[in-house]
A = this chain, B = another copy of it.
């Protein structure tokens, strides 16, 4: 299987960590997002949304979207389970994945893409150019900080984000935390649970993937 990837982008890193935890080897195909390779005809034919990651199976089937890719890898290679061991755990993992993606990563995307000089005219991912909205960058930063407080509460009494075991929710929250830190949004000083959790998940070998 091939993974269309970009080493510096947050979303494909989630798939790389997920695969590393399962010991799945993927052939990496680097897409040069910084130089607009995602908008070229060759990549547009692979994913009209012009984003990575994309998983390509040996028969040519292509799977887009992080959760869809990870669920496919989980079915292919169930151990260790990273999206829950029971229906209730699976529901919690998917719910937290969704919250982190929508309230965390999409807010980070707003913060970053509406302020970075190099992304003028590209305030959204995808083929359509949208101008930056400075108020949205500010709102995004505020939302990410608020979401860290939400995670801090969730980790009070839970070893991991979705409960008692390491899951896809931790992977997504780790990538959010590193992406936020890179734009100078640090974990709040008093977030003892988040800091304890971050120490643990970022020291797993998969975090380097």
Q: Which A residues are within 8 Å of any B CB, using their own CB?
A: 48-49, 57, 61, 63-65, 67-69, 71-72, 75-76, 87-88, 90-92, 94-95, 98-99, 102-103, 106, 124, 126, 128, 130, 133, 135-136, 139, 142-143, 146, 150, 153
Is chain A's interface secondary structure helix, strand, loop, or mixed overall? helix
Chain copies in complex: 2
A135 to chain B, nearest CB (A): 5
A121 to chain B, nearest CB (A): 13
Query: Which chain B positions have C-beta within 8 A of A143?
Result: 124, 128
Question: How many angstroms from the CA of A185 to the CA of B76 in the assembled complex?
Answer: 41
- Contact in complex: A91, B68 (CB < 8 Å): yes
- Contact in complex: B139, A133 (CB < 8 Å): yes
- Contact in complex: B136, A48 (CB < 8 Å): no
- Contact in complex: B99, A65 (CB < 8 Å): yes
Query: Which chain B positions have C-beta within 8 A of A139?
Result: 124, 130, 133
Query: Which chain B positions have C-beta within 8 A of A72?
Result: 87-88, 90-91
Query: Which chain B positions have C-beta within 8 A of A136?
Result: 133, 136
Name the contact of A95 in the complex, choosing from B63, B90, B153 (C-beta under 8 A).
B63
